Amino acid sequence: ADESADGSVEEFVSEKDSLKTEWFGRAEGKNVVFITLESVQNFVIDTEVKGEPVTPFLNELKDDSLYFSNLYDQASQGKSSDAEFMVDTGLYPLDGGSVFVRRPHNTFNGLPELLKDYQTTVFHGNVRTFWNREQMYDSLGYDQFISKQDYEINKENQINYGIEDKSFFRQSIPYMKQLNEPYMTKFITLTNHFPFLLDEKDRSLPLADTSEPVVNRYLTTVRYLDESIRQLFQSLKEEGMYQDTMFVLFGDHYGISKEYEDGVHELLDQPDTALSHTTNQRVPLLIHIPGMEGKTIDTLGGQIDIRSTVLHLLGKQTENYMSFSHNLLAGEKEEFVAFRDGDFITPSYLFQDGICSKTDSSQPVNASHCKEGREKAREKLKLSDHIIKGDLLRFK
């Protein structure tokens, strides 16, 4: 097993649940635009501050999209890079550090490899070396990486890690117009990043008054991100680049750590329980195909499942691919999410911080109820590590 993608690994990780559904191929041949929503947790959707929606645009968009409301953040120490890694490869992050940094030379069969007829470009307003992206994108097979050096950045349009999202999207359009169709682009947003800084002039949401200033600021930068996406959609419509595109928007990881979570409990008027902490770790996933009716899907899944779901909509059969991704649109989807630390959640049980509890009530139960789930999580993580550490996909 050390030197090849042996039968047992293959059996376990092939993407079997790609049986055709009514959604299969609904976006076939369309361009694909991924937008990573930096630090966006699902609780901001349909939440208000002083009577004003935090995410008015995403709230509207989700009504015309496949909106996955029960999707968990599975990123680990590699944060944004882990989220990208899962979406591209359907493998789990490593238990320490970032795969982008630790294993950039592996063979991964990432999305650019599978979408061979697509021109693939990543847009990001930070330096090329952050999370070792430049090297990793080469390895994943991206054709182009438009980064900080390609944008006009000045005192007015820069904050925190780099260019502000509104300017980022505005300046990306001319590059996008040069792409050959079909194209796949990935926009990695930046402004909604800890410590959630924003100039007064860019703040359009009233400041919430929870006892956590970090949470209060977070909501204003989430609103800014929401506005920047509205502006991107508007520009693409004006340029005639909207109609033939599937948009995939997803939160990359949590923004509010446990340390500041009291502010979220106050905002949402929720109790401080293991269950509320866990449900707060959900990130939004919206897949918007112009002209397609919207639907909210509450199938339990994780970021690792985004890949298979997108490939299904693009009409790609995935059963010969090796990954841990499961199509969220398939009726028989296994509702199981493994977190990197070995914790897991299913519709029935939640295992977190050494405690087994019922998912719907957070009532602790006998540990035996979580035995099978813990073994399953351990097995998946072990096999994924095995693939990454042995660079086993080079044999596929």
- Of residues 257 through 276, those in contact with ligand GP9 by CB under 6 A are none
Kind plus residue range of the DSSP H or E element containing 8 = helix 7-13
What's the CA gap between 263 and 169, in Å, rounded?
30
Per-residue string for binding with ligand GP9, 98-137, x by CB under 6 A? ----------------------------x---x-------
What's the CA gap between 34 and 16, in Å, rounded?
24
- Of residues 168 through 197, those in contact with ligand GP9 by CB under 6 A are 188, 190, 193
Distance of closest approach, residue 101 Cβ to ligand GP9, in angstroms: 11
Closest to ligand GP9 by CB, 37 vs 304, is: 37
Closest to ligand GP9 by CB, 191 vs 357, is: 191
What's the CA gap between 368 and 364, in Å, rounded?
11
Closest to ligand GP9 by CB, 75 vs 91, is: 75
Residue 88 marked ligand-binding: no
Query: Please, are residues 64 and 247 in contact by the beta-carbon 8 Å criterion?
Result: no
| DSSP labels, 173-190 | HHHHHTPPSSEEEEEE--
Tell me: does residue 316 bind ligand GP9 (CB under 6 A).
Answer: no
Residue 334 marked ligand-binding: no
- Judged by CB under 6 A, the residue of 161, 175, 260, 336 near ligand GP9 is 161
Closest to ligand GP9 by CB, 190 vs 356, is: 190
Residue number closest to ligand GP9, CB atom: 79
Distance of closest approach, residue 240 Cβ to ligand GP9, in angstroms: 30
Dihedral sign (CA 124, 33, 205, 222): negative
Distance of closest approach, residue 249 Cβ to ligand GP9, in angstroms: 15
What is the phi-psi region of residue 86: left when phi exceeds 0, alpha when psi lies from -120 to 50, beta otherwise? Answer: alpha
Residues touching ligand GP9, count (CB under 6 A): 8
Closest to ligand GP9 by CB, 184 vs 188, is: 188
> In 80-172, at which residue ranges do the beta strands (DSSP E only) sit?
119-124, 144-146, 158-159, 162-163
359: its two tokens: 């998912």
- Return the SS3 of 252: coil
Query: How many helices (H) and strands (E) are present in the chain, helices listed first?
Result: 12, 18
Residue 48 marked ligand-binding: no
Per-residue string for binding with ligand GP9, 65-104, x by CB under 6 A? --------------xx------------------------
What's the CA gap between 46 and 116, in Å, rounded?
38
Of 18, 65, 76, 80, the catalytic one is: 80
What's the CA gap between 253 and 269, in Å, rounded?
22
What's the CA gap between 134 and 169, in Å, rounded?
20
Query: What letter would DSSP give residue 348?
Result: S
Closest CA to 232 of 247, 218, 253: 247
Per-residue string for binding with ligand GP9, 322-351, x by CB under 6 A? ------------------------------
What's the CA gap between 47 and 243, in Å, rounded?
29
Q: Give yes or no: 323 in active site.
A: no
Residue 353 marked ligand-binding: no
Closest to ligand GP9 by CB, 192 vs 323, is: 192
* Per-residue CA distances from 81 to 93, 98, 102, 241 (Å): 9, 7, 11, 28
Q: Enumerate the known binding-site residues.
A: 38, 193, 252-253
- Show binding-site residues for substrate: 193
Residues near ligand GP9 (CB under 6 A): 79-80, 126, 130, 161, 188, 190, 193
Q: Could you list the residues known to form a binding site for Mn(2+), using ranges.
A: 38, 252-253
So which residues are the catalytic ones? Answer: 80
